[in-house]
Amino acid sequence: MKRFMIILAALAISSLAAADEISFNLDRCVMIDIPGDQISTPRLALDFDIPSELDNQEIMYAELTFTIPALRLRSDSLLEICLFPFFSEWSEDDIDNMDLEAVTDSMNAGCFTVKMEEANRFQIDLTSFFRSVIEGEIPNYGFIAIPELLNAPSIEFPEVLDEQLLDLAVVKVVYK
């Protein structure tokens, strides 16, 4: 049994050693306030171009990582951020007035929950999304990010969060 485990570990390490990795930032990040809704949390529209190096590659792993600024929340606050893919092109000029349910997939591409006392760093697994885009099953129009505070009424993000995320968010893809 021990020999079998060693062989499995060696195979896993050798397949990862043959893999390449690419990292890139968001191209656009737009904070969306829902018109007339004073209670809901602002959403973020995220967009990025997938580098041509990934064309026809086998995607082993993909993730979006970012750190949000410290928020004044209770120490036991749980903040969840889910990403839903857009179905069509969007622009900064009309995103505030779009019917978001009509232009986004109802199935999320990834979610991550963090206890704010412990961390404010998010790592959202996007492996299946990247595989589907690279294989031509779905287009890449970016995501709508929907944050939700799970044990409190609302969140107030800084107005410049979209600008901060452009600098802080990184998409990392491991491929071979």
Give the domain ranges of the chain.
21-175
Q: How far apart are CA 51 and CA 142, in angstroms?
A: 14
Count of all residues that appear for the chain in the document: 176
Name residue, tokens 């009509």. Answer: 102
Rounded mean pLDDT of the chain? Answer: 78
Kindly give, in sequence order, each residue whose CB lies less than 8 Å from that of residue 59, ignoring residues fewer than 6 positions away: 127, 130, 131, 134, 173, 174, 175
- The mean-pLDDT minimum among 79-83, 99-103, 144-148, 168-172 falls in 99-103
Widest CA span in the chain: 64
Q: How far apart are CA 12 and CA 36, in angstroms?
A: 52
- The mean-pLDDT minimum among 13-17, 145-149, 163-167 falls in 13-17
pLDDT above 80 (res 125): yes
Q: What is the distance of C-alpha 53 from the center of its chain? A: 20
Among 62-71, 100-109, 123-132, top mean pLDDT goes to 123-132
Compare 108 and 168 and report the one with higher pLDDT. Answer: 168
Name residue, tokens 């995220």. Answer: 46
pLDDT of residue 106: 63
Q: How far apart are CA 11 and CA 158, in angstroms?
A: 46
Spatial contact of 44 and 64, defined as CB atoms under 8 Å apart: no
Among 98-107, 137-146, 157-166, top mean pLDDT goes to 137-146
Q: How far apart are CA 104 and CA 119, in angstroms?
A: 29
From the list 114, 122, 101, the residue with the least C-alpha distance to 149 is 114
pLDDT digits 0-9 by tens, 2-54 = 665 566 555 555 555 578 999 999 999 888 865 555 555 678 889 999 999 99
Compare 89 and 15 and report the one with higher pLDDT. Answer: 89
pLDDT of residue 103: 60
pLDDT of residue 152: 60
pLDDT of residue 69: 67
Q: How far apart are CA 70 and CA 73, in angstroms?
A: 9
Name residue, tokens 């779009």. Answer: 98
pLDDT above 80 (res 100): no
